[in-house]
């Protein structure tokens, strides 16, 4: 028997993992696990919550959809929540779903379903008023999405004005923005010819194209759209079935998928699933399964919905795609923090819609567990069309001459010793910024927006600067001249001037951002801010002991040791001193009686749109007074600052009794 304490710990871990993966998938368009693995996590969480309903909380991933919208776009509240779909992974799962519906409807009578291909794109809500497109928004967290109206207008298949008879006075159309495979292939070919990084898959390409702040970029991308449903409808009697709704969509000039059909009963659904699976390689777009919806809207109303998904619809995923190939070599890569990561170089294999040639093997423990060797035949899976992985070695094809992989004891780039910290699975190069392989990544991090924020210093420019040996440490950036920059590929006079000016302007920063920019292991934004608030100056931090550092909020013994180790390295101290000598500075942080600040240690959440300042400006104003700013509302939240069009966070704050501040009250508080 598992005790309640263990169950609670596992549920908390699952929620944290799922939220992190949701953020990567929905906010940053950069999924970091296959869909199949994500589904396993969600299924485990749902099963645990079903057995222990007392553990269910309003902020559990099972009670919400997706992730919060990104901050660059205006946020809008959906007229009706945009729900997600539950998943079926087998014939038995779908049969059980059908039985649950039949028990709520008419037992013994085959239910009529609409079956649609499950497109791999981005869910969109379109508002038409008087037949004219007035607003478009992404799903976001299901309650609040991102206003992408101007970008949506550039997609030719989406009508700006509905045509035909019977156009309602107001209607919310829902559908999927996606990138057809031909357009995706052409887009990546163009990117590669320009020396740019290609998109990983059509879903990422579609999401990245739609979330451009410049709508001209979106217009240049080969995006398409299919309608799959509607939300609010006014000025017209609602249709009786999904099928009738699709007929109306076509009548109004909205594009609908030509693979949509209506079937009866479980057997009809299974047959259609098998047929679509067989046609998947021939379709002009990527699909990762099918969607079944009860055709009758009155029956949909009878069965209703749960908090995050309708009871009348379900997605049936296709099995993860797998192919066999051979391991040509195994290399090791060195990351920004010195992490030594083995990578298998594969004979090219087309799986999950893309050609896979490289697969990360994560760490030494993973290598030993799977025992992958050069020459092996391996099974490669691209589950959920995201990250490829080696599932297993085909042992029948292994030859006696294939030798076990020997993990390096010294860095393959700088020959420094490789460290293995007790309790960690990742081995690391011990050289810090002295290691050339870490230089590129450390400089990219140093220049990033949340660090020194050097506008225009992108990955390709950093790589050229390092390759040309113009930059060996972050400090070297501040010695670059216009002449140096002009030697880079595709760098004109105006661009060179802008980059040199941006580097110069970045000299003025904050103590917290400077600490974050140094790239000390496990010192993120929050920890850097805590360190800046605790120590009077850089010298005090550099000379701090592990015990001194453990007194800082958010700093435990491991992080404290990382900080001490960083400043013990002569090279790191030299880089820091050079940065200061080249003019990098920040306003003094006054520590006296800091804990007497009325906002010190208080936890704030910002939501909605502020009219007098940006959310980032509000965040920095609070942090300068010692407050913490988090992205989600919890019982630990002290204040919620509610701007215009506040949504789900405001509702949750009110339900938890969190004090809500208007923008005017917030301005008075920080003044």
**Model confidence, pTM:** 0.47
As a whole number of angstroms, the distance between CA 118 and CA 291 comes to 6
| Each residue's pLDDT tens digit, 220-235 | 899 999 999 999 999 9
| Each residue's pLDDT tens digit, 595-604 | 556 887 788 9
Write the CA distances from 393 to 324, 379, 390, integer angstroms: 9, 6, 8
| Each residue's pLDDT tens digit, 141-196 | 888 999 999 899 988 889 888 988 889 999 999 999 999 988 988 898 888 788 78
User: In the chain, pLDDT over 70 holds for what percent of residues?
Assistant: 92
Instruction: Name the residues annotated as catalytic.
Output: 118
Tokens found for residue 310: 């309708």
Question: Averaged over 510-530, what is the pLDDT?
Answer: 88
Of 411, 415, 403, 405, residue with least CA distance to 427: 411
Mean of the per-residue pLDDT values of the chain: 86
- Residue 358 has a pLDDT of 92
Most confident of 2-11, 106-115, 292-301: 292-301
Of 561 and 426, more confident: 561
List of domains in the chain: 4-63 (1.10.287.610), 104-317 (3.30.470.30), 432-505 (1.10.150.20), 511-581 (1.10.150.20), 594-670 (3.40.50.10190)
Of 91, 414, 147, 131, residue with least CA distance to 254: 131
Please spell the DSSP secondary structure of 204-232, one letter per residue.
HHHHHHHT-SSHHHHHTS--EEEEEEEEE
| pLDDT band at residue 592 under the 50/70/90 scheme | very low
């Amino acid at each position: 028997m598992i005790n309640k304490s263990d169950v609670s710990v596992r549920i908390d871990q699952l929620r944290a993992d799922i939220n992190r993966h949701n953020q990567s998938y929905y906010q940053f368009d950069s999924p970091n696990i296959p869909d199949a693995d994500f589904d396993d996590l969600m299924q485990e969480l749902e099963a645990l919550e079903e057995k222990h309903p007392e553990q269910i909380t309003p902020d559990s991933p099972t009670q919400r959809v997706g992730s919060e919208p990104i901050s660059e776009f205006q946020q809008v509240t959906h007229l009706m929540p945009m729900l997600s779909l539950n998943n079926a992974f087998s014939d038995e799962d779908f049969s059980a779903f059908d039985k649950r519906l039949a028990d709520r409807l008419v037992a013994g009578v085959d239910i009529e379903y609409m079956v649609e291909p499950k497109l791999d794109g981005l869910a969109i809500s379109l508002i038409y008023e008087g037949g004219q497109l007035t607003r478009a928004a992404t799903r976001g967290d299901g309650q609040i999405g991102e206003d992408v109206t101007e970008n949506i207008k550039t997609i030719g298949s989406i009508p700006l004005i509905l045509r035909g008879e019977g156009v309602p006075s107001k209607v919310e159309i829902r559908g999927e923005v996606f990138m057809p495979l031909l357009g995706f292939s052409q887009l990546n070919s163009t990117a590669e010819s320009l020396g740019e990084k290609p998109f990983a898959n059509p879903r990422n390409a579609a999401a990245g194209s739609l979330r451009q702040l410049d709508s001209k970029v979106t217009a240049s991308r080969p995006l398409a759209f299919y309608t799959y449903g509607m939300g609010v409808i006014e000025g017209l009697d609602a249709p009786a079935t999904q099928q009738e709704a699709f007929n109306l969509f076509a009548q109004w000039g909205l594009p609908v998928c030509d693979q949509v059909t209506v079937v009866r009963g479980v057997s009809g659904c299974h047959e259609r699933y098998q047929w679509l699976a067989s046609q998947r390689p021939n379709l002009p777009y990527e699909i990762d399964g099918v969607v079944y919806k009860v055709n009758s809207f009155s029956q949909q109303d009878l069965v209703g919905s749960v908090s995050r998904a309708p009871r009348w619809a379900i997605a049936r995923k296709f099995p993860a795609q797998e192919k066999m190939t051979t391991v040509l070599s195994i290399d090791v890569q060195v990351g920004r923090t010195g992490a030594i990561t083995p990578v298998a170089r594969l004979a090219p294999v087309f799986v999950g819609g893309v050609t896979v040639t490289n697969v990360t093997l994560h760490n030494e423990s993973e290598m030993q567990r799977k025992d992958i060797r050069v020459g092996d035949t391996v099974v490669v899976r691209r589950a959920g069309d995201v990250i490829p992985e080696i599932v297993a070695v085909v042992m029948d094809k292994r030859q006696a001459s294939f030798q076990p992989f020997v993990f390096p004891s010294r860095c393959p780039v700088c020959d420094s010793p490789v460290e293995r910290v007790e309790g960690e699975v990742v081995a690391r190069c011990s050289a810090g910024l002295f290691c050339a392989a870490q230089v590129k990544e450390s400089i990219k991090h140093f220049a990033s927006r949340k660090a020194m924020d050097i506008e225009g210093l992108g990955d390709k420019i950093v790589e050229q600067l390092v390759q040309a040996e113009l930059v060996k440490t972050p400090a070297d950036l501040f010695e670059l001249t216009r002449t140096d920059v002009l030697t880079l590929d595709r760098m004109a006079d105006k661009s060179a001037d802008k980059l040199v000016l941006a580097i110069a302007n970045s000299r003025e920063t904050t103590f917290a951002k400077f600490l974050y920019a140094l790239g000390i292991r496990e010192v993120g934004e929050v920890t850097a801010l805590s360190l800046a608030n605790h120590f009077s100056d850089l010298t005090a931090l550099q000379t701090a002991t592990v015990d001194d550092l453990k007194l800082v909020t958010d700093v435990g013994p491991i992080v404290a040791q990382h900080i001490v180790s960083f400043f013990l390295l002569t090279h790191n101290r030299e880089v820091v001193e050079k940065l200061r000598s080249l003019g990098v500075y920040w306003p003094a942080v006054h520590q006296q009686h800091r804990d007497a600040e009325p906002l010190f240690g208080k936890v704030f959440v910002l939501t909605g749109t502020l009219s007098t300042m940006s959310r980032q400006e509000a965040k920095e104003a609070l942090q300068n007074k010692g407050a913490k700013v988090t992205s989600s509302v919890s019982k630990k939240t002290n204040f919620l600052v509610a701007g215009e069009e506040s949504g789900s966070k405001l509702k949750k704050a009110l339900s938890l009794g969190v004090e809500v501040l208007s923008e005017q009250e917030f301005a008075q508080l920080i003044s």
